[in-house]
Amino acid sequence: MDIDHESNPRTDPMQMPMPSIERHEANPNPDPKPSSSPSGISEEECAKPSKLFETQHQISANPRFGTKFNSSQNSDQVKSCLGFENIEKSVRWGESKGQNRPQISTSTINLIYELRKDQDFSMLHSPKFNPATISASSWVSAIWKKFLEHSIPQDIGMKVVKIGRTGNEYDVTDFLHRLRPNSLIKLQLFSRNEELNVTGIIKRELYSKSTLSTEVITSLKDLVRQTVIVSPAQSTHFGGYRIPRRVQSSKVYVCDLSALQFQNKFNTGRLVLISRYDTLQKGVLDDEISRNVVGEAKSCPEFRETQRYIPCKSSIFGEVLFDKVAYKRFVAKDVVLAGLALNREAARDHEQPINFKFLKYGSGFFAGDFTHIIETNILSGQVELPFFQNSEKKRVSEIEKRFQRKIVFSAEDCLKSGDDGLVTATTNCGDPHAVFGNEMGCHSVDAAIAENLVGKGGQFCPLINEKFEEFLF
């Protein structure tokens, strides 16, 4: 595919050696310096697979954040030590030795976190789940650190609520303050804090008592989608969304990944759009994210169709240009990050061979007015493609020959295990507003995957799972 954009091999990660990996413990230690490796991707290279399957790494697990507890310990003691406080009772659940009275946070509780509809307070900081790892490129951590310093109050507080249960809330401010200052766990909690979201409309009342501006809240959503969460899991079923649900008990690896979203004017999809009349909503990180993903800040070209830009009239965004190069680079970045994160998880698990499934994400109701464009441009950069059409047969054949990897275009459910001895490792179709599983009940791909796992995917929530790690590539 010819695109009017020059390749830059010097800054192309797909032509560079496997990047150095920074390990971060999610505890209050001094921050390591982020990697300064460049991150631009050329249009020509967007179609090439990454080297993530060529190099295997033996990587030891990171120490996990917070205090470790035995499953036999009282849940009140667990929640106490993590700094969770019952606001209704105004006392800590359990007191540490030597304490005569409860410790009350002095921070203002100005952020609200809603538990998913099937979760409750008894599940907070549970030891029963498999470990989960938040992974991101080092540039995401560097931007998040600056963003926290300049846009988020240091004394910000948070409470956890359960929709439909008034008067029963828990202060998790001390838990936030015990995390490493620029922990990506904070980014997850500040951004994906809604019980469910199927419209793309940001639930601003969750931030109503904070001083965070619309631009800052929008940027939280933009940045969190540059991260993934990976965890091993056990399936109980597969299917359920648009196909029959079948019983299946097998090991899987799941990568919680959010697609670009075009449902609302504040959604992340605007990062690949250019407005004719400069009417797009802006976040404070738009150019930073674009420079690191696309390789350049968003430009303002002449409003006409080219090989790179497609003019569109959107009911949400107005007259815009859809930037195909930018979109493909976001997809390519997601493929590489998801693949690296899943590959790392499998490498730690006795070099477990995997069948990497990258789902056709963001082309359903997330796509809004851009369904056709996304359908015809999402293929570049893929490795394994359930529910995709093989419209680039020559390129796919070249990739298979070059890397000696079989590329399958199937119509099988993402959790269905094959008979080839490989463990399924799949992405999901996540959301930057709600945790893994979203509305549940098999009403979407994201919901169905969670419903089909032991524990309903609770391990992907940092407030539910005590065993969370962070890892930078």
pLDDT attached to residue 332 = 85
- Lowest-confidence pick of 64-68, 123-127, 161-165, 420-424: 64-68
Kindly state the average pLDDT of the residues 327-336: 88
Count of C-beta atoms within a 10 Å radius of residue 28: 13
The answer to whether residue 41 scores a pLDDT higher than 50 is no
- Read off the pLDDT of each residue in 238-251 and give the average, rounded to a whole number: 95
pLDDT, residue 147, reads: 97
* pLDDT band at residue 206 using 50, 70 and 90 as cut-offs: very high
The answer to the question of residue 293 being in a domain is yes
Does 334 reside within a domain? yes
When pLDDT is cut at 50, 70 and 90, the band that residue 300 belongs to is confident
Q: What is the predicted pLDDT for the residue at 410?
A: 65
> Maximum Cα–Cα distance for the chain, whole Å?
72
Q: Which region among 48-52, 173-177, 443-447, 454-458 has the lowest average model confidence (pLDDT)?
A: 48-52
Please determine, for residue 401, whether its predicted confidence score (pLDDT) is greater than 70: no
In the prediction, which pLDDT does 40 show?
38
Rounded to 5 degrees, what are φ and ψ at 255?
-115, 110
Q: What does the H/E/C string look like for the chain?
A: CCCCCCCCHHHCHHHCCCCCCEEECCCCCCCCCCCCCCCCCCCHHHHCCCCCCCCCCCCCCCCCCCCCCCCCCCHHHHHHHCCCEECCCCEECCCCCCCCCCCCCCCCEEEEEECCCCCCHHHCCECCCCCEEEEECHHHHHHHHHHHHHHCCCCCEEEEECCCCCCCCEECHHHHHHCCCCCHHHHHHHHCCECCCCCCCCCHHHHCCCCCCHHHHHHHHHHHCCEEEEEEEEEEEECCCCCCCEEEEEEEEEEECECCCCCCCCCHHHHHEEECCCCCCCCCCHHHHHHHHCCCCCCCCCCCCCCCEEEEEECCCEEEEEEHHHHHHHHHHHHHHHHHHHHHHHHHCCCCCEEEECCCCCCCHHHHHHHHHHHHHCCCCCCCCCCCCCCCHHHHHHHHHHHCCCCCCCCCCCCCCCCCCCEEEEECCECCCECCCCCCCCCCHHHHHHHCEHHHHHHHCCCCECCEEEEEC
Domain span including residue 311: 105-472
User: Looking at per-residue confidence, does 248 or 29 come out higher?
Assistant: 248
Return the pLDDT at 94.
Answer: 28
Residue 339 dihedral angles phi and psi, to the nearest 5°: -65, -45
Answer yes or no: is 86 within a domain.
no
The reported pLDDT for the residue numbered 340 is: 86
pLDDT per residue over 343-381, tens digit each? 889 889 888 888 888 887 754 444 455 455 544 544 332
- Say how far apart CA 347 and CA 59 lie, in whole Å: 7
The whole-chain average pLDDT of the chain stands at: 76
The answer on pLDDT for 11 being more than 50 is no
pLDDT band at 383 (very low <50, low <70, confident <90, very high): low
Domain-embedded: residue 151: yes
Whether residue 88 is predicted with pLDDT greater than 60 in this model: the reply is no
**What is the model's pLDDT at position 303?**
87
Q: How confident is the model at residue 253 (pLDDT cuts 50, 70, 90)?
A: very high
> How confident is the model at residue 301, as a pLDDT?
84
Cβ atoms within 10 Å, residue 125: 23
What is the mean pLDDT of the segment spanning 59-68?
30
Tell whether the model's pLDDT for residue 422 goes beyond 90: no
Report d(CA 432, CA 225) in Å as an integer: 6
Residues 22-27 have a mean pLDDT of 38
**The pLDDT of residue 6 is above 50:** no
Asked whether the predicted pLDDT for residue 433 surpasses 90, the reply is yes
pLDDT, position 418: 78
Is residue 254 included in any domain, yes or no? yes
> Is residue 126 included in any domain, yes or no?
yes
User: Considering its fold, how many domains does the chain have in total?
Assistant: 1
265-297 confidence digits (pLDDT tens): 999 999 999 999 999 999 999 999 999 999 999
pTM: 0.75
pLDDT at position 456 is: 97
| Residue 449 is assigned to a structural domain of this protein | yes
* pLDDT beyond 70 at 46: no
Q: Is pLDDT larger for residue 298 or for residue 290?
A: 290
pLDDT for res 356: 83
Q: Does the residue 100 lie in any domain? A: no
Burial 66-100 (b: 16+ CB within 10 A, else e): beebeeeeebeebbbbbbbbbbeeeebbbeeeeee
Confidence of residue 137 (pLDDT cuts 50, 70, 90): very high
Judge whether residue 395 has pLDDT over 90. no
For range 444-462, the mean pLDDT:
96
Residue 163: the pLDDT is 86
Q: Which two tokens stand for residue 310?
A: 């497609």
